[in-house]
Structure 1
């Protein structure tokens, strides 16, 4: 199954919100018009552990849902930037910490029915505070340190609301041997 794109029209072209209206044809000949696609750059997020094994989370207001939520640090990868390098940059900007190790743990698509991007998931370990935050003009971020046990409890109580970040935590915990599956 593959759809053929017959035409595309951009209805918004902004760094954070590029949207287009496509006219598509399915293999059976049916025409799908309109089909809306939001284009976003690749993003990355990491379960970030300090050198003394504390988890660094970020608390910030998320306007689309009107809530302040706790998340793993991350952000968009710059065009042409290596994903792991971009993740290190985002960690430094948002937390002021530099990390000894950045390990890839997965890649997920947030909502492939509408969004065209992926999020790269990492486990960052050995974090050492080196600088103050270097936030973008629209960011207001509080860094929060918690234990791995607290994080796991919050995860089980469904207190981490950002689904991509839940995936990151999940895959990082598996990589660390904190979650196991049999069967």
Structure 2
């Protein structure tokens, strides 16, 4: 039986750290790159670590004036399924995350927002990728035409939060950024969470 709590743990992370000794590029793609590093473990042994580097991404929890959440349904080739998600997109190298969020919302849905807040940064696959996703809250939306990329096909629609949570609970929504955003919004509406206003 584990009796310790976090406050009983050693300070810092030196006793857990893995230090890079050397590395090599295994594969270079359009925006994903695979690397293999040799690392020294805390006990002095050497091990290999393979991981993907990713420039990062943004996601937008966009709320219509009636409280419904703006959603997309998009085919995700790696899992061979059309998935329900909040709008999101990859950062260009050196791009400001907020500007990326604003661009992606308009390109994918046609909506622009007057009010932007930062929710949080998440790391969706910490075991093998450097990817992070910055999640933003967009409010006071104005509709307009979308500007999809040539290789982009998606449905745009809106649903109440209760439907999102129901879809998460039955496994219809499995996307991590959308799942986290749905539960965050539920806490926010109950006064248990707050975004960080940006304008």
TM-score of the two chains, using structure 1 as the length reference = 0.88
Measured after TM superposition, the shift of residue 57 of structure 1 is: 0.4
> What is the match of residue 116 of structure 1?
130
Q: Is the counterpart of residue 58 in structure 1 residue 72 in structure 2?
A: yes
Please, what is the CA RMSD of the aligned residues?
Answer: 1.8
Of structures 1 and 2, the larger Rg is shown by 2
Q: Is the counterpart of residue 36 in structure 1 residue 50 in structure 2?
A: yes
- For 1:160, which of 170, 173, 178 is the aligned residue? 173
> What is the match of residue 142 of structure 1?
155
1:149-176 Cα offsets, whole Å, 9 max, x none, are 3223323333211112211222233233
- Kindly tell me: are residues 59 and 179 of structure 1, through their superposed partners in 2, closer, same or farther at Cα, counting changes over 3 Å? farther
Measured after TM superposition, the shift of residue 45 of structure 1 is: 0.8
SS of alignment partner, residue 107 of structure 2: helix
- For 2:63, which of 49, 70, 84 is the aligned residue? 49
Tell me how far apart the structure 1 counterparts of residues 81 and 19 of structure 2 sit (CA, whole Å). 39
Measured after TM superposition, the shift of residue 137 of structure 1 is: 2.8
1:85-100 matched pairs, under 5 angstroms: 85-100=99-114
> What is the match of residue 12 of structure 2?
none
> What is the match of residue 169 of structure 1?
182
- Kindly tell me: are residues 57 and 154 of structure 1, through their superposed partners in 2, closer, same or farther at Cα, counting changes over 3 Å? same
1:40-94 Cα offsets, whole Å, 9 max, x none, are 1111112211234332100010111111111000111222222122111111111
Contact map agreement 2:161 2:186 (CA 8 A) in 1: no
Q: Which runs of 5+ in 2 are unaligned?
A: 1-15, 194-199
Q: Is the counterpart of residue 21 in structure 1 residue 64 in structure 2?
A: no
Measured after TM superposition, the shift of residue 30 of structure 1 is: 0.7
How many residue pairs end up in the alignment? 178
> What is the match of residue 8 of structure 1?
23
Q: Which runs of 5+ in 1 are unaligned?
A: none
| Runs of 4+ with >4 A deviation | none
